[in-house]
Structure 1
């Protein structure tokens, strides 16, 4: 019950955040087009900000793409195998996938920490435009690079939840398709 409420709240919050990010991305892009072609001027920071918003949106939305089965998966072998080997293959694939996600998250964090010390140029321009010489310092580029470790960690946690579902299906005598269909995840 508590886990279900947490999952619902987390998913709702993540969807809301993604909607806000996409709305902001669209707003900045439209403003840039109007400024460039309508007013013959340009927003110096718009392309960089749009790139950062797209990076964050991509890595956060990856969780929903996985749940919908929109990430590439080879299910031919799993579909052809009997129940126990199919579940064993699903568990093995999940373990390897989660390990890869954790590895990417780890090294992504190390990279973000090493390369992300300078301020984000686009936000520096925006803050200088808004506040002039009294502008606060922009956040570090670390926060742009942090999208990868966060997205990979969330995906790894989701894959680990799938592994638990496949293990429970194995113990309860359920099939791989029954387990995959019951939680909206992806079969390997």
Structure 2
């Protein structure tokens, strides 16, 4: 299930990137060739990019591709390695909690503001911060529990054998 969810997030991020590129390209064509820019394109592409950045960070975290120091931590003995990774994840959890708290305050602060070009309530855009930070905190908590139980962490799941044998 986590692999399926991560794959869905990857496709969502790819789709958002495609939409951003299409909007920006259409605006360039409209501005320089048709002399009629799309007035809302910069705003929409900026808002989509913000969501793409947060969802991309969540996807990277779920795939085990987020920042870490594996070369240094792998030098530790197994029990110290477990303690170092867990301590690191606990610090990340605290930071994500701060991001959720501050993000909720930001969304509340922007509750009555609307974007100038498309008249979208800004809390839709900036709700990405607390929402994705909360989801990342769930992933980190899952990682801690999986590590302490000896189960594979996200991004380290066993790979299912392919139905097609390697031709080499």
C-alpha offsets along residues 75-129 of structure 1, whole Å, 9 cap, x if unaligned? 34311110011001111111111121121011111111112422222323xxxxx
Aligned length: 158
Q: Tell me, in whole angstroms, the C-alpha distance in 2 between the residues paired with 1:81 and 1:182.
A: 19
CA deviation after TM superposition for structure 1 residue 52, in Å: 0.5
Cα RMSD for the two superposed structures: 2.3
Q: Select between 33-42 and 17-26 the one with higher mean Cα deviation.
A: 17-26
Structure that is richer in helix per residue? 1
C-alpha offsets along residues 37-72 of structure 1, whole Å, 9 cap, x if unaligned? 111221222111111000001101112222444432
1:18-167 to 2 correspondence within 5 Å?
A: 18-124=13-119, 139-167=120-148
Between the two structures, name the one with larger relative contact order (CA 8 Å, sep ≥ 6).
Answer: 1
CA deviation after TM superposition for structure 1 residue 161, in Å: 1.0
Q: Tell me, in whole angstroms, the C-alpha distance in 2 between the residues paired with 1:123 and 1:19.
A: 24
Unaligned runs of 5+ in 1: 125-138, 173-177
After superposition, the Cα gap between the structure-2 partners of 1:154 and 1:181, relative to the gap in structure 1 and judged at 3 Å, is closer
Secondary structure of 1:183's match? coil
TM-score (norm 1): 0.74
After superposition, the Cα gap between the structure-2 partners of 1:77 and 1:160, relative to the gap in structure 1 and judged at 3 Å, is same
